[in-house]
Structure 1
Amino acid sequence: MQCDQVRDEFLSEFTEDLRAYSAEEVFNWWELTRWLVKNFVYASQLDGPVSLTPDNNIIQDFKHREQPGRNLRRLAYIACCRFVKHWNTRETRLAISPVIIYEHLGRKVGPPLTARTAMGSITHLLSELQIPLHGVEFDSPEELSLQLQRVEQDATMLAGLLRNLDNRSWAHGPEQHAHEFVWRVDEEVVPDVSGLQYFEPWYVKTALRYQIEQRIINQSKAKYGVAPIFPSELSTSVAKLNKICRRRDILTGLGDLDILQTCDLRRQYEQGVGHVMLGQTFDEALANALRLRSGLIESHCVHFGQPDTDQQIARLTEAMIFPFGEETVRMNEVQRQAGAFLDVALDLCRELINEKLLSSEGST
């Protein structure tokens, strides 16, 4: 499709919908759209097709578009997908996990027919994005039904573990027990998670460790006025994801934990999986957790005395002089495409804001 035609169709699609919003809200749409696109640009450093992985809140934005705030976020997400389809050249599709479907079903499980109906419902709900959709960790209704059972079993287990944490006292008074001053949570304190069926033990253990850290901090401050440990930003963000909803007596943030383990860019880079799972959210805590697990780390070593020692040294030297060379080339290409799209979106934003300001002046 020609550039002018793409631009015109984009403007035609969004102008009327955004006219229903105030100047401040239109600017918020631009900020949300830019946020999503910038995250896509960063993830494009990794090689392979990109799978956009929206969290449950984004799904709910589409489900409840009659609410103005949700609809504004929906419009931002659609705008990002228009960039992906018409400006970006990387192969991209949507990814839906069993946890998203589990939450879409109201945290219920059923036979393959129920699973197929739920997947069809989400596919229809997101059809306006005009991007191919695929399932994560399942290829058939039968596999999805089985995965939903595993998710429910893990949800019950995790809720029980959190309740057990809530039933313990975690306060530490350093002035009374200086020799027991806590600097980190020992491995043996973290509950056993060997019975997990769907979630990965490392991510669950890490999340539980951060939950314990926050309980130590909060309870120690409340009781003694001082905390014996100093949490990382990642600890604080991840600990906000999961809690027991007292009103419904269920574990919240199940989908956040799922996205955190599925869309860990650092792990994807280290393992060289050949595709990119990009977590997408407007939630601050989940966004921070994903950001803190997105830093790419490169390491090289040389094994002397091997037939390819000279080649190893050459690769190490190249990496020291041009770190992330291929990654930078990939990202720069998508950055150029994103810049062209964001210019169009910003022009629309300016036009609508100016229109509203002039209208406001004319009515005074």
Structure 2
Amino acid sequence: MRSAMLIIVVVLLLTGCNYHNDLKNLQLIYATAIDVNEKNDIVTTVTIQTPGGKERSTPVHEVLSDSGPTLQESLYKKIGLQIAGPIGVSKNQVLLIGEKLAKKDLADILDSTFRNSNDPMLAKVAIVRGKAGELIRLDRIGSATAGEYLRKIIMSARYETIIPSLSLHALYPLLHDKGRDPVIPLLRKEEDKAVVDGVGLIHKRKYTGYSLTPEQSTLLILMYGRKDKVCVITRKVEEDSMQKDDPSQYLSLNITNLKRDKRVWIDEEGRVQIQLDLKMKGSVVEFAHDNLSDKKQVAALSQRFSDILTEEGHATCRLLQKANSDALSIGRDIMAYYPDAWAKMDWDTAYPNANFHVSMNVEIISHGIIN
């Protein structure tokens, strides 16, 4: 009996040693980028952090890249053979997709990621203009890894209502939803930094090549009926032919309250109609004039701002239709309220011909402590 107990203790101790040894040698991925090369292979680039050991007190960061016919092949077989230890993906913070590769079926490309329970489904997803691997190779800011740096940029833009927050977990159902198309945050490399460049428009699980600017993306989020912690909108409200683009011609408002009303119906001619009414209240952040104590002036500015945003809202919806990207989930409304019509409808033809009615009403409720 004692010998049996001794064997069990030895086995447990040895297993524990192997477990800790595996952890010590684990190669942690903090950011992943995927592109496509001339051979149509997937090129995967990762930044790996190796834990510090007795010889070194701080972790070591390394960028590795290789290619293969699939994401699984290029990452685990090709890159996996270049490192001393098992790959760990639990710390992966961002997944970047080059725009050329994003124009292929995203569900097929990311299939292994969606199937693997070990992959972090909360990793942020973004499309990169040009090659995604170039952003992974950016020098780290301070002590942050490339993954931490890129994630913070994405989260900051989300905080300011410039882009929606999109994780792998959120992307998967959207790629399989026939009544709605996702929009994916768009990044670009500018010298030695990454810049948020709006959102890329998706149709049938592929990047269409059409995109919304950061200003249009903010309006799209507002048309969702959502806003984040901060939503500052700056527009030119005055025209002066003598002084073009003078700062005093611009008004910056922080949207503090938002109410959206959305209505979708099919008219007698069978055409889809969409009514989007947004009512917003905002506080003046910047306006280089001292006449905001005048109620008539404030009302005129509110109307001017409303007219500008309404016109831009229509233009944004037209661009969505041009890309055939149903980012406002109009198809889902038709499916819910007009199931018989949906069953007979060719949505790829009906959606670009739908009629959007957009109204954005902005009320200035505060102008700060300056009268």
Q: How would you bin the TM-score normalised by the shorter chain?
A: under 0.3
Which structure dedicates a bigger proportion of its chain to helix? 1
TM-score, length-normalised on structure 1?
0.23
Higher CA-based Rg = 2
Which structure dedicates a bigger proportion of its chain to strand? 2
TM-score, length-normalised on structure 2?
0.23
